[in-house]
């Protein structure tokens, strides 16, 4: 589930682009042979560290800038540019936290998957959890400052990774749309692999069976990151 810039669904995009090459084969031979396309992505665990590292850098930068604001206020008044920069960084942090927090438990994930299935027209055959694991970042020392808020710099973040295997059935366009929805409508989620098979050798409706594996991240940040969050849960 995520750096300050907007996370992009690279795993699903790469998979969809690759699977497009198989579209003519799927359409031409769907009633004649079983067609399987297996495209695996890199486990999204590698995306946890960049996300957390970006958060650490942003929080440390906020502490540094707040120190400068305090120093300026004690002399000739606060520097407007510093205040604006501080607010911009804080907003990026808030937006990232809101993105990670918008769907953060199993029930909400199941509900989001079901909504995405209805919206794209696929039929969900089953949803199975594939396991969880936890990653904990290294502690980060707060920058030295007389500003009390500087002590709120992060002391390490914890990421809970949970995997799901989703079996769906639908037409080729419906399955492709559902893949995209898994990454854009289910919170901090990445598609790490998927498999597509013809639903039946004699299925003239062109239905496909797809098995999609996802990884969802729940990132528990230090108290410093829990600032005033935007209500819309927009992507960072």
Domains of the chain: 10-225 (3.30.70.60)
Q: Which two tokens stand for residue 32?
A: 């004649």
Q: For residue 39, what are its two tokens?
A: 């495209």
What is the rounded average pLDDT of the residues 200-206? 66
Q: Determine what percent of the chain is predicted with pLDDT higher than 70.
A: 37
pTM: 0.53
pLDDT of amino acid 62:
61
C-beta of residue 157 within 8 angstroms of C-beta of residue 77: no
Q: How many CA atoms lie within 13 A of 194 on its CB side?
A: 29
**Mean pLDDT score across all residues of the chain:** 65
Q: Is 180 exposed, middle or buried (0-12, 13-18, 19+ CB in 10 A)?
A: middle
Largest CA distance in the chain: 81
Q: Which among 15, 30, 61, 12 is positioned nearest to 197, based on CA atoms? A: 30
Q: What percent of the chain has pLDDT over 90?
A: 17
Joined tokens for residue 88: 């911009």
Residue 27 CB contacts under 8 Å (≥ 6 apart), including other chains: 172, 206
Give the model confidence (pLDDT) of 71-121 as tens digits. Answer: 666 665 555 666 676 677 667 666 666 666 666 678 888 999 999 999 999
Q: Is the pLDDT of residue 229 over 60?
A: no
């Amino acid at each position: 589930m995520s750096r300050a810039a907007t996370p992009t669904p690279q795993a699903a995009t790469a998979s969809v682009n690759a699977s497009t090459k198989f579209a003519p084969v799927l359409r031409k031979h769907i009633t004649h042979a079983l067609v399987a396309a297996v495209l695996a992505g890199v486990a999204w665990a590698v995306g946890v560290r960049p996300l957390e590292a970006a958060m650490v850098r942003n929080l440390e930068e906020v502490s540094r800038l707040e120190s400068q604001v305090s120093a300026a206020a004690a002399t000739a008044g606060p520097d407007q540019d510093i205040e604006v920069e501080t607010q911009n960084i804080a907003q990026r942090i808030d937006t990232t936290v809101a993105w990670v927090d918008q769907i953060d438990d199993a029930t909400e994930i199941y509900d989001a998957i079901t909504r995405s299935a209805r919206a794209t027209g696929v039929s969900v055959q089953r949803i199975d959890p594939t396991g969880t694991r936890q990653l904990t970042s290294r502690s980060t020392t707060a920058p030295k400052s007389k500003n009390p808020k500087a002590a709120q710099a992060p002391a390490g973040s914890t990421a809970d990774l949970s995997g799901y295997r989703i079996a769906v059935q639908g037409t080729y366009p419906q399955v492709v749309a559902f893949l995209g929805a898994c990454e854009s409508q289910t919170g901090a989620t990445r598609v790490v692999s998927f498999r597509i098979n013809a639903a039946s050798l004699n299925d003239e409706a062109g239905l496909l069976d797809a098995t999609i594996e996802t990884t969802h991240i729940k990132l528990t940040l230090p108290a410093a990151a829990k600032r005033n969050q935007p209500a819309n849960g927009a992507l960072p």
